[in-house]
Chains A and B, each alone.
Chain A
């Protein structure tokens, strides 16, 4: 009897692929169905954000962050604006802080719903896709109510918000949060005890805590493996230390654990939103510092100084002191940070986006080792990459 000959087959997955969560290309080395090697190739969405942001003023740059991580748009905008505010040493007024927390947590819920919708669609639970996107629509309506745009808002400004929250916003948010637990319960009822879902996600994509830390993974990837690092608790910003919320931590580090974790994160996000709604003070929505924020329009009629400030801010932009800062927020994927280097001029010298998905995706080969071809989709889904964030 002759010895069995095997050969390694290299298969290309993507960049145009229905299940890679964006333009991700993965080269898989297969022996039969078993994956023996995996090389992700990225860069298909490289947009040159960092270089472009060096050629715009700090205010003009507010447009860009939402397009980097396009699923959690408010979180990304806040990440950039908080970094600029740290550089300027300017604190937004309390109303703006609380409003930002509400919008960021709503963004987190919306992002996790897209994650769940696309993940289940890839495993052929098509109805789950429709449920998730339908659950997300009221949240996008809230975003539209506040900023005029469903995505890519441009609402968070340096020093606060672009304009005040509209009337009727708070009751609408309460209404949406009222409906959310039932929708999440329905999704969990569909998936958590579902034999097929469990078989496909339990034990798949296991990432040990040591590996996660070595690769710089953060977010659900790190927390699923048992390390409870959440930027909102570790380095609080925007008043997060005042809210009572739990950070779910997994044990097994597999796809099922991360699914449970993200579902719980949505519930905790709702908890934060409800606390923030109760806490929302009245008052100004942007800081009073005329070197940072435009003066209110009625003042332009009365004060020459206001006109000069307006002119300077619009035609030149603000000038932060020379120095560098790093500010991180907790995005649905992990630690999202902005490293700004300023030389005192109206444009940043360097804007570095510390991307959560970039580091998370590095762990993909480790998570896929020894799995079969069918698990590729599950593992990429559980990493939850946003390719705009990976490639910038």
Chain B
């Protein structure tokens, strides 16, 4: 089953409505509604061409755009090798999504990491606690409104004084 057919299968499982699909550089991404994400994952997990692995589970912060967060699932099938990306968009105010640990136990730490760094809660996760940062850390560092917290470097006679500002952001061309 190739990625396009998989995307169609996900669409069918979710009631057949049109799902946003992006194809870029040979990769297929399907955007599913956040409340149907478990159905979509199950559709892929039971698809022919398995076994299916949850290769990655992560999030992207699109601040200040709304919906702010995108939870990204990368799935890999082994026979034949094929990849599909599923995305679910979450609002910035109270980002909650169902946990995939019931489908793949490997989602456990991945979801804890997303919670730790983004603050997205996963409903049904057995132990949603911080994993990379100290337990008493405040804030979620990978959010765009969390500063990089750089210590100013004592460059002599040079402004700016923080490394990340030496080459400033420049907007998209064209």
Contacts and interface: CB of A to CB of B under 8 A. Distances in A.
A51 B164 contact: no
A253 interface: no
Given A51-B141, A86-B25, A354-B55, A343 B105 contact: no
Contacts of A217: 106
Given A52-B148, A87-B25, A341-B60, A216 B167 contact: no
B133 A43 contact: yes
A319 interface: yes
B25 A325 contact: yes
Contact of B167 (A52, A317, A341): A317
Interface in B51-93: 51, 53-56, 58, 60-62, 72, 74, 78, 81, 83, 85
A218 B51 CA distance: 13
Contacts of B22: 323
A170 B51 CA distance: 41
Interface in A191-220: 213-218
User: Which of A42, A216, A391 counts the most B-chain CB atoms under 10 A from its CB?
Assistant: A216
A352 B70 CA distance: 13
Contacts of A227: 51, 78
Nearest to B77: A234
Interface residues of B, number: 44
B56 A354 contact: yes
A316 interface: yes
B27 interface: yes
A235 B141 CA distance: 33
User: Which of B108, B134, B169 counts the most A-chain CB atoms under 10 A from its CB?
Assistant: B169
A345 B22 CA distance: 20
Given A50-B142, A89-B25, A354 B164 contact: no
B131 A315 contact: no
Contact of A315 (B72, B109, B110, B167): B167
A217 B74 CA distance: 14
A294 to B, nearest CB: 15
Contacts of B104: 214-216
A235 B105 CA distance: 25
A282 to B, nearest CB: 30
Given A55-B148, A322-B172, A326-B27, A337 B132 contact: no
A391 B132 contact: yes
A319 B25 contact: no
A43 B115 CA distance: 14
A52 B148 CA distance: 7
B171 interface: yes
A268 interface: no
A391 B56 CA distance: 15
B56 A352 contact: yes
Nearest to A346: B170
Contacts of A323: 22, 24-25
Given A46-B133, A337-B56, A358-B109, A346 B81 contact: no
Which A-B residue pairs are the 6 nearest by beta carbons? A344-B172, A234-B81, A216-B106, A55-B164, A215-B106, A43-B132
6 contacts: A56-B164, A213-B51, A227-B51, A234-B81, A324-B24, A341-B60
Interface of B: 22, 24-25, 27, 29, 51, 53-56, 58, 60-62, 72, 74, 78, 81, 83, 85, 104-106, 108-110, 113, 117, 130-134, 141-142, 146, 148, 164, 167, 169-173
